[in-house]
Amino acid sequence: MKQNPGLRPAVKLNDFGPKEIEIVHNLATIFFVSNAKVGKAGKDRYPVVYLKPTDDLQQRFCFFSELLCVLHPYPVLDARVIDFIDRTLSASQNRLDRLCVLIVSNASDVEANVPKVSITSEARVFVPFRYNELTGSVAGKGDIVRRRLEENLYTKDLFAISSALKTDRYFFGRRTDVQRIIGKYNEGENSSIFGLRRIGKTSVLWAVVRELRDIGAPVAFIDCTDTRFHKARWNQTLFRIKQALFQANPIAEGGHGEHAYSEAGASVAFSEDLLLVKKTYGKPSLLIFDEIENLSFDLSPTNHWASGADYLAFWQTIRSTFQQNPNLFSFLVCGVNPRCVEVPLIGPSLDNPLYRYVEPTYLGFFDVDDVTAMLKYIGGYMGMSFDTEVYTYLTDEYGGHPFLIRQVCSKLHQWHLKKLLPRKVHIRKEIYREKRDELRLSTRDYIDLILRILRERYVDEYRLLQHLSADDHQTFSSYALDEPTLINHLLGYGLVTKASDKYHFRIIAVQDAIADTATHLRSPATLEERWELLNAERNSFEQELRNIVKRTLKIAFGTPVAKDKFVNAMIKRSQKDKAATYSYDDMFRGEVYFSDLKRAIIGEWETFKNIFRDDKARFEHAMTTVNKLRADAHANEIDADNFSSAMESIRWLKGSIEENC
């Protein structure tokens, strides 16, 4: 049905002042005014108007919900009006547009001050007007409103949002994930979310928080990167989690103090405090642990957690409290990699309390329908539309990764609005194809950010991706058989997919980024190129290995003994005699063979084992492989498999040195 401007007959303006009534009547010539009332925040009063867009405004700005218009009758604009707006929208979230708000203020500098007072608001679009712009004659008011909407919507880059979404304004495509977690909570079960950086994990957690708070359920969001949690000992951390729960869900009684959370008493105090929350709210608590790696063995930046000691005590307490007190609380763990719930033992013999206690669940990418809905919604406000094919291109080329797709759209918006001109933009498929390579390059920094945690913390997984980018399907497939957990992680992240018994990258831009770091794994087409690359890598590594052996022996035994040990590792008598005449440092500049370095390390393995990951068999195999394939000493035939094997051995040896020296 056609929507015309007007004023709903039931709307009463008895509490509005004369100028405010003028403003409402003028707005009723542009919008349909469906509701009007006066809201209060402390001593302040704010008349509010609900504006239903006409067909013309719906088509021009993609408005499909009513707009909130707040009248601010004061001469100075401050952040209190933003707080009032947030509360008003939260109370009518199913009726009002969650993104665009009109502010009509008596402050003369409203246009300059709205950006200042709304700086902490999550990219909401505030469209400012002055009282004197919308009072008086109706003539020209429609032009003023449309022009101001265009100035504030068409020039604002809403795709550039990069922080986690704490409200539902830009939340798309995750309803199933949120409902799964809510369902686990309702059933008294624990849950998990794992996935790559920037995939939207934290935004999902905040959506869970919002939904649980709406039904009066006590929930606490624990950011494990906060040093107050991972720098504390396990029992202090437990107390601070209790504090976070009580602060987020006010309780008249304060519960136990920190003194009750001793190592011996923490478990009892924690149970009793959770029971107090249950009695107050009538529902079990949900504890959400984001960035769980910080409270995990091996991965925590704090030693007493990384060593496993505090990890064991903390999670043993959480687990025993959960088991002994049905329906008292549950927890959700969130991180990149589910290793903390997959490893059975901590150290040589201690049971991992989280092992198989929580089922690992990954947060997936968007499908083309989700991408389409997201871009139509956000782009609609900006006056930005796309050919249907572009939605498919973006989904295919960026794997449905929502953050990367938004950054690509942000770049497209920037290119079309070199000057801040309020105009509509349509992205044709031909333009996208023309700019495809440039767009991929523009995402490289974001992709590096996403992949950094794999490079730094999950090295084996990153190296597998390097093999795949180098078309080394044999190595990748062999790992799929020998180390299925690693492959499952890569599949769970959404970085790779399997088709016709072969694995492939899902995101072309990620493949390009990793390929740049995996040139050493690619087998050149010609024999000459293979030898050239292999010898360059081998010679570089051999020089590095000489320095490592020289320095390590000297530090461990002192110069005289170190020299004797290395000379004893040599085989040829003439070589030994010549070395004996040199100084220690000059000896390593002279006649030293690759095999001498290997024998010296094997002969003093206790001294060198930590450099080479305490894997003597792997070290010997790698050194033998590298030494065997030498163009200057052996047959000059080298096929792709032998080349790949030699390069992999050099990579392992160099990687060991880089990690441990």
pLDDT of residue 156: 75
Q: What is the pLDDT of residues 410-427, one digit of tens each?
A: 999 888 765 555 567 899
| Pairwise CA distance, residues 366 & 364, whole Å | 7
How confident is residue 172, by pLDDT bands cut at 50, 70 and 90?
low
Q: What is the pLDDT of residues 146-166, one digit of tens each?
A: 999 888 877 778 887 665 444
pLDDT of residue 132: 92
| Pairwise CA distance, residues 138 & 29, whole Å | 8
Share of the chain above pLDDT 70, in %: 93
Specify whether 458 is located in the same domain as 318.
no
pLDDT of residue 633: 45
Specify whether 116 is located in the same domain as 259.
no
Tokens found for residue 587: 């000896």
How confident is residue 520, by pLDDT bands cut at 50, 70 and 90?
low
Specify whether 205 is located in the same domain as 347.
yes
Q: Tell whether 128 is covered by a domain.
A: yes
How confident is residue 383, by pLDDT bands cut at 50, 70 and 90?
confident
| Pairwise CA distance, residues 437 & 327, whole Å | 53
Instruction: Calculate the CA dihedral of residues 474, 479, 480, 485 and round it to 10 degrees.
Output: -160
Asked if the model's pLDDT at residue 456 lies above 50, the reply is yes
Q: Tell whether 387 is covered by a domain.
A: yes
Specify whether 196 is located in the same domain as 340.
yes
Q: What is the pLDDT of residues 606-626, one digit of tens each?
A: 999 999 988 899 999 999 988
Q: What is the CATH number of the domain that holds 240?
A: 3.40.50.300
pLDDT of residue 415: 82
| Pairwise CA distance, residues 30 & 315, whole Å | 60
Burial of 268 (0-12, 13-18, 19+ CB in 10 A): middle
Domain final residue pick, 392, 410, 442:
442
| Pairwise CA distance, residues 652 & 618, whole Å | 9
Asked if the model's pLDDT at residue 208 lies above 90, the reply is yes
Specify whether 656 is located in the same domain as 539.
yes
Residue 585 identity: D
Specify whether 567 is located in the same domain as 498.
no
> How many structural domains is the chain composed of?
5
pLDDT of residue 630: 64
Q: What mean pLDDT is predicted for residues 369-382?
A: 88
pLDDT of residue 117: 62
pLDDT of residue 601: 95
How confident is residue 359, by pLDDT bands cut at 50, 70 and 90?
very high
Asked if the model's pLDDT at residue 64 lies above 80, the reply is no
Specify whether 640 is located in the same domain as 500.
no
| Pairwise CA distance, residues 410 & 159, whole Å | 5
Q: Tell whether 126 is covered by a domain.
A: yes
Strands (E), 342-440: 345-346, 350-351, 384-386, 425-427
pLDDT of residue 635: 46
Strands (E), 275-404: 285-290, 329-335, 345-346, 350-351, 384-386
Specify whether 632 is located in the same domain as 534.
yes
pLDDT of residue 657: 86
pLDDT of residue 165: 47
pLDDT of residue 481: 83
Q: What is the pLDDT of residues 3-45, one digit of tens each?
A: 899 999 999 999 999 999 999 999 999 999 999 999 998 889 9
How confident is residue 295, by pLDDT bands cut at 50, 70 and 90?
very high
Among 229-238, 443-452, 627-636, the range scoring the smallest mean pLDDT is: 627-636
584 C-beta neighbours (distance < 10 Å), count? 16
Q: Tell whether 166 is covered by a domain.
A: no
Residues of the domain holding 118: 6-153
Specify whether 133 is located in the same domain as 34.
yes
Average pLDDT, the chain: 88
Q: Tell whether 165 is covered by a domain.
A: no
Q: Tell whether 162 is covered by a domain.
A: no
pLDDT of residue 265: 96
For residue 99, give the H/E element and its range: strand 96-105
Specify whether 339 is located in the same domain as 211.
yes
pLDDT of residue 490: 94
Q: What mean pLDDT is predicted for residues 559-585?
A: 92
Specify whether 504 is located in the same domain as 575.
no
Q: Would you say 565 and 604 are in contact if contact means Cβ atoms under 8 Å apart?
A: yes
Specify whether 195 is located in the same domain as 339.
yes
Q: Tell whether 398 is covered by a domain.
A: yes
How confident is residue 276, by pLDDT bands cut at 50, 70 and 90?
very high
| Pairwise CA distance, residues 583 & 586, whole Å | 5
The larger pLDDT score, comparing residue 651 to residue 574, is at 574
Q: pTM for this one?
A: 0.69
How confident is residue 636, by pLDDT bands cut at 50, 70 and 90?
low
For residue 73, give the H/E element and its range: none
201 C-beta neighbours (distance < 10 Å), count? 22
Q: Tell whether 121 is covered by a domain.
A: yes
Domain final residue pick, 153, 183, 210:
153
pLDDT of residue 316: 97
Q: Which residues, in sequence order, are CB contacts of 516 under 8 Å at separation 6+? A: none
Q: Would you say 375 and 409 are in contact if contact means Cβ atoms under 8 Å apart?
A: yes
For residue 36, give the H/E element and its range: strand 32-41
The larger pLDDT score, comparing residue 659 to residue 290, is at 290
Most confident of 321-325, 383-387, 614-618, 635-639: 321-325
Asked if the model's pLDDT at residue 634 lies above 60, the reply is no
Q: Which residues, in sequence order, are CB contacts of 134 under 8 Å at separation 6+? A: 22, 23, 26, 27, 104, 141, 144, 145
For residue 66, give the H/E element and its range: strand 66-72
Domain final residue pick, 404, 421, 442:
442
